[in-house]
């Protein structure tokens, strides 16, 4: 049996009863003996194989690809080798195989690649274990109820990998060679989801750049307890003259008559269960956790058996999960006792459901297993959000009331509005994650005359459309059916790494805009949502076994082959357009701001004979210099150190940790380094 990761393999062994362990090549295997069988559970570490081109070279297009052990093609994957060797040793002893990796396309690809490539076994000798949580009960049930080999899911997963390779590798190569034809070198990339994602962001960037703000005016009436606003036909005042006229007319008036009181009682429904995108956006707005972080924190909680599988599209919690059982378990946790009890005390325990479904997993829910004291702060935050959302979906709608008063001053109307909560209901279950407007107004009756303090006139401007935050763009991708729950956050992260986007909320760099323009002009299909979505639908067809991997890939080769042929003909010209932007962007990233030792100099990052340092543009007149770290990615930021006033740079070491630091090694901020 193949588990997706060492930790998961150990949880499966724990669930299935008495086991012994055996170490082989530094990897722990779990052995369970039954009357007629000896079951070996061996771990993978995520993907053991990845796609690579057959043969050598940097030309494009490459369509001839094969699966190879990942440590043969990637330098950073050396640690996978012992797992590969161990899996080979164990699988060679077996007569039958079980893929017990996570139940989704990735898990199907990981497990079946390992089994098929190492043993050559036919599909009728491979079974699939299907579970949504790593609790002993679920795992035991899944094992008692093994399913046949998941042909559709596996084929769909394999197709996705090949498509990503076709689009990612080929078009990225085309871009890089175009630049190389102009004697520049730069890692550029695009991909099946990355391309359309960048296009959405670039379109927004252009909208913002082209936005022309229009001035408008607002007039307020101030009362000792509230503020009302001039309103007519729900439009704004667009010219100063009109504003001035109205203002002059009412100015100095001391009385306003209440002419209309509108009360509206309404319900605010409880939220729907979390899918991954829903969780990501709440984690971002309440805890400032990025979508990618939220995804990996949730994955950790799942691997600890605390929540169900997080990579789900579903917003539904089926009754077979046993709501009461889960709630009772949560009641045993001190933090959640009261909230769980509130739900359990209800006459009818039924969750509100969302629209989205997922054929593999339900929405995210807590298993009720106690987390103990082992959770990190960040894990705890995500866990708390998941548990409280689970409670909230069982709550009754909150009762709200909106109030609108119309106040007359001469012939002008001013309006004051408020919204208040009458019955909190589900709000009590989701605390402190409820964000609703609460503004109370004093009691008023029609005909009543109020004392006015004064009037105010204010000039404002229409605002450009908002920039996307990371969680908003992930949301947008889901709404447009682009990418998958597992890959959306990663695509956005890739755009940051390539310097196509920067800052939070997201700004598209000149390089990002140039790449989008180039692709739009020369291979519009690569950035079109249409094509990406079309293949997403094809993969669904493969999953349901209405289409085949071979047919879909052939279609992709046809489509892409002709696009790339056209690109190649104009390669040099395309590169020429990109090079100017790349040069300007490089220069911008090297600039660190004014020199702290001379008048006219600018500090910039310099690379000379293998080492990096900061120097002044006025050298040799100014010899100001600072050292720079010699490995890792660095780039400039807009920040200045509060202690020493030198510019801060962004440092990314080994792709793991990134941070901002100032360039002065003697700065007090580095005392404890
Ligand atoms: Zn200087
Ligand atoms: Zn400093």
Closest ligand to 597 CA?
1
Among 69-78, 220-229, 234-243, 608-617, which range has the highest average pLDDT? 220-229
Mean pLDDT of 589-617: 88
d(CA 374, CA 498): 36
Which numbered ligand comes closest to the C-alpha of 670? 2
Q: How far, in Å, from the CA of 652 to the mean position of ligand 2? A: 18
Write phi, then psi, for 637 (nearest 5 degrees).
Answer: -130, 175
| pLDDT grade for 655, boundaries at 50, 70 and 90 | low
Torsion sign over Cα 440, 442, 448, 454 = negative
Sheet containing 647-653: order of strands: 633-640, 647-653, 657-662
Specify the pLDDT at position 453.
Answer: 96
pLDDT tens profile 26-56: 999 999 998 889 999 999 999 999 999 998 8
Distance 637 CA to ligand 1 centre (A): 19
Instruction: Give residue-wise pLDDT tens across range 131-176.
Output: 999 999 999 999 999 999 999 999 999 999 999 999 999 999 999 9
CA neighbours within 13 Å on the CB side: how many for 667? 19
| Nearest by Cα to 576 from 175, 178, 189, 171 | 178
Name the residue among 130, 170, 221, 169 with its Cα closest to residue 409: 221
* Ligand with minimal distance to 602 CA: 1
At 482, which helix (H) or strand (E)?
none
Residues paired with 265 in a beta bridge: 401
- pLDDT higher than 90, residue 645: no
Rounded distance from Cα 373 to ligand 2 centre (Å)? 37
Mean pLDDT of 386-408: 97
Distance 287 CA to ligand 2 centre (A): 28
Closest-approaching ligand to the CA atom of 604: 1
Average pLDDT on 111-138 reads 96
309 flagged as catalytic: yes
Q: Are strands 126-128 and 97-100 parallel, antiparallel or unpaired?
A: parallel
User: Residue 633: pLDDT band by 50, 70, 90 thresholds?
Assistant: confident
What is the Å distance from ligand 1's center to 664 Cα? 15
Which residues are near ligand 1, the ion (C-beta closer than 5 Å)?
595, 597-598, 601, 616, 618, 622, 624
pLDDT at 656: 60
221 near 409, Cβ under 8 Å? yes
CA of 597 to the centre of ligand 1 (A): 5
CA–CA separation, 291 vs 489, rounded Å?
A: 6
Backbone angles phi, psi at 491, to 5 degrees: -60, -40
Cis-peptide into 61, omega within 30 deg:
yes
Cis geometry, peptide bond prior to residue 8 (ω within 30 degrees of 0): no
pLDDT tens by residue, 414-453: 999 999 999 999 999 999 999 999 988 888 899 999 999 9
Share of the chain above pLDDT 90, in %: 78
What is the Å distance from ligand 1's center to 633 Cα? Answer: 24
pLDDT number for residue 594: 87
Confidence bin at 516 (pLDDT 50/70/90): very high
Stated as kind and residue range, the H or E segment containing 525 is: helix 524-527
- Given 309, 383, 430, 626, the catalytic residue: 309
Beta strand pairing call for 65-69 and 97-100: unpaired
DSSP strands (E only) in 145-290: 147-148, 215-222, 227-230, 255-268
| Ramachandran class of 205: left when φ > 0, alpha when ψ lies in -120 to 50, beta otherwise | alpha
List all residues 6 or more positions away from 653 whose beta carbon is below 8 Å from its beta carbon. Answer: 629, 631, 632
């Amino acid at each position: 049996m193949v588990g997706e990761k060492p930790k998961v393999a150990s949880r499966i062994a724990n669930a299935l009863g008495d086991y012994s362990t055996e170490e082989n090549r530094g990897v722990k295997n779990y052995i369970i003996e039954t009357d007629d069988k000896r079951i070996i559970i061996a771990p993978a570490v995520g993907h053991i194989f990845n796609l690579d081109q057959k043969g050598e070279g940097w030309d494009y297009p490459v369509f001839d690809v094969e699966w190879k052990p990942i440590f043969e093609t990637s330098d950073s994957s050396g640690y996978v080798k012992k797992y590969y060797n161990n899996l080979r040793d164990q699988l060679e002893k077996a007569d039958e195989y079980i893929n017990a990796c996570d139940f989704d396309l990735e898990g199907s690809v990981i497990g079946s690649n390992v089994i098929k490539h190492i043993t050559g076994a036919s599909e009728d000798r491979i079974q699939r274990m299907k579970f949504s949580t790593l609790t002993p009960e679920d795992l035991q049930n899944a094992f008692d109820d093994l399913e046949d080999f998941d042909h559709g899911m596996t084929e769909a997963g394999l197709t996705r990998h090949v498509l990503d390779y076709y689009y990612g590798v080929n078009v990225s190569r085309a871009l890089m060679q175009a630049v190389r034809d102009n004697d520049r070198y730069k890692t550029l990339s695009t991909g099946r989801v990355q391309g359309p994602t960048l296009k959405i962001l670039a379109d927004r960037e252009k909208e913002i750049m082209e936005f022309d703000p229009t001035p408008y005016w607002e007039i307020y009436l101030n009362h000792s307890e509230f503020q009302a606003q001039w309103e007519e036909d729900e439009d704004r005042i667009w010219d100063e003259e009109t504003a001035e006229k109205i203002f002059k007319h009412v100015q100095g008036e001391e009385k306003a008559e209440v002419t209309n009181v509108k009360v509206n009682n309404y319900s605010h429904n409880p939220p729907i269960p979390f899918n991954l995108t829903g969780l990501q956006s709440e984690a971002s707005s309440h805890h400032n956790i990025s979508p990618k972080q939220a995804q990996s924190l949730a994955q950790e909680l799942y691997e600890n058996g605390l929540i169900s599988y997080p990579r789900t599209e579903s917003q539904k919690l089926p009754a077979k999960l046993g709501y009461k059982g889960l709630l009772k378990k949560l009641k045993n946790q001190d933090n959640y006792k009261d909230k769980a009890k509130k739900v359990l005390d209800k006459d009818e325990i039924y969750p509100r459901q969302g629209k989205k479904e997922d054929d593999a997993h339900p929405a995210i829910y807590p298993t009720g297993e106690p987390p103990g004291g082992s959770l990190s702060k960040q894990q705890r935050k995500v866990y708390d959000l998941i548990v409280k959302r689970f409670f909230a979906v069982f709550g009754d709608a909150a009762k709200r009331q909106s109030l609108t008063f119309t106040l007359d001053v001469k012939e002008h109307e001013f309006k004051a509005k408020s919204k208040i909560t009458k019955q909190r209901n589900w709000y009590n279950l989701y605390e402190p994650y409820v964000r609703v407007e609460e503004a109370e107004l004093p009691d008023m009756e029609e005909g009543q005359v109020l004392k006015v303090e004064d009037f105010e006139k204010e000039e404002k401007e229409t605002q450009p459309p908002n920039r996307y935050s990371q969680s908003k763009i992930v949301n947008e991708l889901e709404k447009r059916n682009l990418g998958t729950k597992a890959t959306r956050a990663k695509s956005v992260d890739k755009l940051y790494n390539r310097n196509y986007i920067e800052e939070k909320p997201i700004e598209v760099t000149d390089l990002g805009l140039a790449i989008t323009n180039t692709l739009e002009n020369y291979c519009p299909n690569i950035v079109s949502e249409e094509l990406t979505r079309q293949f997403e639908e094809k993969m669904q067809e493969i999953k349901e076994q209405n289409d085949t991997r071979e047919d879909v890939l052939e279609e992709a080769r046809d489509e892409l082959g002709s696009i790339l042929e056209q690109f190649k003909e104009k390669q040099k010209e395309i590169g020429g357009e990109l090079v100017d932007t790349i040069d300007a962007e490089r220069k911008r990233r090297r600039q660190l701001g004014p020199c702290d030792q001379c008048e006219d100099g600018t500090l910039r990052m310099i690379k000379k004979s293998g080492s990096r340092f900061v120097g002044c543009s006025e050298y040799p007149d100014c010899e100001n210099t600072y050292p720079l770290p010699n490995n890792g990615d660095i780039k400039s930021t807009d920040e200045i150190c509060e202690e020493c006033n030198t510019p801060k740079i962004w440092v990314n070491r080994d792709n793991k940790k990134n941070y901002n630091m100032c360039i002065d090694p003697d700065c007090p901020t580095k005392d404890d380094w």
